[in-house]
């Protein structure tokens, strides 16, 4: 057994990020405003943007994009939500409003499918409205679009999620198949009946989730999209209460920062990178999604994040990875070897050499079989397996106005520690979250590495979420999107996904 040590309280200084001209800052918004994005020379100038949706929503989206080209002020003047200087001022890019490509989605068609009582048919048909138009554009049009904004009404968000239901009325359409009729192999005597059954049965191959299904169907097309809800860009008309409108208005600048950062990243830029880089190191986050609660089968993938901060996703195999007794996922040896081999080869393709260290992050332990598979693929590379879980049974208090600071580390074993990635942040004079923060339990379960270095890396990885422009997250990016990526990869049967950049999934 590992020898316990006397608990030791340590503090990890806030990791710095690198921006334009090699300048560093701890807050992404400070760095972008003062120095611009890290690779500002790579992604500059006017960009061609596509907007798709009903005419009313396309106009709202274009108006919003014009709005964030200008200064966006935070009305309550709080340090935690700084003003947004404008898209061109912060990122050095602008939208060519004279050349925005627009694809119309008829509102009558959206309303038609929203009346389908069968949730599979409802979501499948609505997603295809968007996917088919994008697919046709790729085949027929010559103007290249750098990224697409997919604008959806609030009703799609409300009624196209797993547990959403619609109320029956005179417009309700009861089209679909009963559970026992959904078998793909069902044969009919007449061709027209067979064609109708095949058309309807296709919907049951996909998950009832508009976002995940859309992303999954677009993976083979490699189209970069950002889904925008109507109520996020036009809350003054969607929200009914003046109190809610006033509350939402406080986040105008934060929303501008988030959308602009995501757009810059999906345009191919890198907003920032880690300030203190450990070269030739990469971080893998294991992704699992159980396919059926009745059996062990699950899909596995890996998120690889480089020292630059950019990421790629590797889809693994589907296999009996779920251990019902331990309630953990574990790969077979061959699948573990295959997954790590894909990751290492992608790293070598990008840099011309293999990493010297690979840190594998997961929410579960690693068993002997899968770890042997990892080591087989990385025979000359240092491997470290790290288990990361949110711990809810241990809290730490102090006699101050605010909770303990973010970056606090309590080491209670040579290989174990609690790490507070949430907490009081002096820069914004506030704390992340409203409640007393829970720590992450960090456990080096395979390989050897100083637990302080492991915790420092994890704290740094909480600052690499390019889907938002915030001070930091509560979990490292290696696990932040694990669930959502797993859901995209399993949103339909036989999803085709090679080694793709992280931006296609978020």
Least confident of 41-55, 213-227, 229-243, 476-490: 229-243
256 and 287 in a single domain? The answer is no
pLDDT range class, residue 4, cuts 50, 70, 90: low
Residue 420's domain spans which residues? Answer: 4-15+271-504
In a domain, 198, yes or no: no
Residue 395 confidence (pLDDT) above 90: no
In a domain, 420, yes or no: yes
The share of the chain scoring above pLDDT 90, in percent, equals 57
493: its two tokens: 């049967």
Residue 485 confidence (pLDDT) above 80: yes
280 and 257 in a single domain? The answer is no
- CA distance linking residue 283 with residue 304, whole number of Å: 6
Give the per-residue pLDDT at 33: 95
Q: Which of 463, 466, 72, 464 is nearest to 264 (CA)?
A: 466
pLDDT in tens, 432-467: 777 889 999 999 999 999 999 999 999 999 999 999
296 and 221 in a single domain? The answer is no
Please compute the mean of the pLDDT values over residues 116-140 and round it to a whole number: 93
pLDDT range class, residue 167, cuts 50, 70, 90: confident
Residue 304, Cβ density class (10 Å: 0-12 exposed, 13-18 middle, ≥19 buried): buried
- CA distance linking residue 361 with residue 318, whole number of Å: 20
Please compute the mean of the pLDDT values over residues 229-256 and round it to a whole number: 86
Give the per-residue pLDDT at 205: 86
Residue 1 confidence (pLDDT) above 50: no
251 and 368 in a single domain? The answer is no
In a domain, 143, yes or no: yes
143: its two tokens: 């103007």
Give the per-residue pLDDT at 323: 85
347 and 226 in a single domain? The answer is no
490: its two tokens: 């399993």
Q: Do the strands 17-18 and 24-25 form a parallel or antiparallel pair, or are they unpaired?
A: antiparallel
Give the per-residue pLDDT at 278: 81
In a domain, 10, yes or no: yes
283: its two tokens: 């971080």
230 and 340 in a single domain? The answer is no
Mean pLDDT of the residues in the chain: 89
252 and 382 in a single domain? The answer is no
- CA distance linking residue 396 with residue 56, whole number of Å: 50
pTM exceeds 0.85: yes
Residue 271 confidence (pLDDT) above 50: yes
442: its two tokens: 């960090």
10 and 52 in a single domain? The answer is no
What is the SS3 string spanning 448-483? CCCHHHHHHHHHHHCCCCCCCCCCCCCCCHHHHCHH
Helices (H), 36-185: 55-67, 87-91, 107-114, 119-140, 154-159
Give the list of residues 6+ apart from residue 199 with CB closer than 8 angstroms, or none.
none
In a domain, 326, yes or no: yes
- CATH number, position 10: 3.30.420.10
Most confident of the ranges 124-133, 325-334, 427-436: 124-133
372 and 470 in a single domain? The answer is yes
Give the per-residue pLDDT at 467: 92
- CATH number, position 57: 3.40.50
For tokens 């009745």, what's the residue? 294
10 and 84 in a single domain? The answer is no
Question: Domain boundary at 228, 244, 266, which?
Answer: 266
Contact 93, 45 (CB under 8 A): yes
pLDDT in tens, 55-79: 999 999 999 999 999 999 988 778 8
In a domain, 192, yes or no: no
Give the per-residue pLDDT at 61: 96
In a domain, 467, yes or no: yes
> 303 vs 117, 340, 364, 427, 501, CA distance in Å?
37, 11, 16, 30, 9
> 302 vs 120, 347, 402, CA distance in Å?
28, 13, 37
pLDDT in tens, 345-374: 988 988 889 999 999 999 999 999 999 999
Please compute the mean of the pLDDT values over residues 133-140 and round it to a whole number: 93
Q: Which of 283, 287, 452, 294 is nearest to 364 (CA)?
A: 287
398 and 415 in a single domain? The answer is yes
In a domain, 31, yes or no: no
pLDDT range class, residue 245, cuts 50, 70, 90: confident
pLDDT range class, residue 191, cuts 50, 70, 90: low
Question: Domain boundary at 266, 293, 316, which?
Answer: 266
Question: Domain boundary at 234, 251, 266, which?
Answer: 266
The structural domain count of the chain equals 2
Which stretches does DSSP call E strand in 142-229? 147-152, 225-229
103 and 216 in a single domain? The answer is yes
For tokens 């359409």, what's the residue? 173
């Amino acid at each position: 057994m590992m020898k316990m040590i006397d608990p030791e309280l340590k503090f990890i200084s806030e990791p710095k990020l690198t921006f334009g001209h090699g300048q560093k800052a701890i807050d992404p918004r400070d760095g972008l405003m003062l120095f611009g994005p890290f690779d500002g020379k790579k992604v500059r100038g006017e960009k061609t943007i596509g907007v798709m949706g009903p005419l009313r929503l396309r106009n709202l989206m274009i108006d919003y994009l014009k709005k964030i080209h200008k200064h966006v002020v935070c009305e309550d003047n709080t340090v935690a939500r700084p003003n947004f200087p404008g898209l061109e001022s912060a990122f050095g890019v602008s939208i060519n409003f004279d050349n925005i490509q627009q694809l119309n989605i008829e509102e009558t068609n959206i309303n038609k499918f929203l009346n389908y009582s069968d949730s599979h048919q409802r979501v499948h048909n609505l997603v295809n409205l968007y996917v088919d138009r994008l697919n046709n554009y790729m085949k027929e049009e010559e103007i290249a679009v750098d990224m697409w904004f997919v604008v959806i009404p609030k009703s799609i968000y409300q009624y196209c999620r797993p547990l959403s239901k619609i109320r029956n009325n005179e417009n309700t359409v009861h089209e679909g198949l009963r559970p026992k009729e959904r078998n793909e192999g069902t044969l009919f005597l007449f061709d027209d009946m067979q064609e109708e059954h095949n058309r309807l049965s296709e919907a049951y191959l996909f998950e009832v989730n508009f976002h995940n299904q859309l992303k999954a169907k677009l993976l083979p097309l490699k189209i970069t999209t950002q889904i925008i809800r109507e109520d996020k860009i036009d809350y003054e008309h969607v929200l009914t209460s003046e109190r809610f409108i006033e509350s939402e208005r406080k986040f105008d600048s934060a929303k501008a920062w988030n959308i602009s950062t995501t757009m810059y990243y999906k345009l191919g830029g890198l907003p920032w990178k880690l300030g203190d880089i450990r070269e030739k190191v990469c971080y893998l986050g294991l992704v699992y999604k159980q396919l059926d609660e009745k059996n062990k089968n699950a899909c596995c993938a890996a998120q690889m994040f480089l020292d630059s901060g950019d990421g790629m996703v590797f889809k693994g195999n589907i296999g009996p990875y779920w251990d019902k007794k331990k309630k953990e996922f574990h790969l077979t040896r061959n699948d573990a070897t295959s997954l790590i081999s894909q990751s290492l080869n992608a790293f070598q393709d990008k840099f011309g050499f293999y990493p010297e260290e690979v840190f594998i992050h997961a929410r579960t332990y690693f068993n002997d079989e899968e770890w042997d598979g990892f080591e087989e693929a990385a025979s000359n590379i240092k491997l470290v397996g790290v288990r990361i879980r949110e711990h809810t049974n241990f809290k730490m208090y102090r006699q101050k106005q605010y909770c303990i600071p973010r970056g606090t580390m309590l080491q209670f074993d040579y290989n174990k520690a609690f790490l507070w990635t949430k907490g009081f942040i002096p820069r914004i004079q506030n704390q992340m979250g409203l409640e007393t923060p829970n720590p992450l339990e960090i456990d080096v379960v395979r390989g050897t590495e100083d637990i302080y270095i492991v915790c420092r890396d994890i704290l740094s990885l909480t600052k690499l979420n390019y889907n938002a422009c915030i001070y930091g997250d509560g979990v490292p990016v290696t696990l932040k999107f694990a669930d959502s990526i797993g859901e995209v990869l399993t949103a339909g049967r036989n999803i085709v996904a090679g080694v793709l950049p992280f931006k296609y999934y978020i």
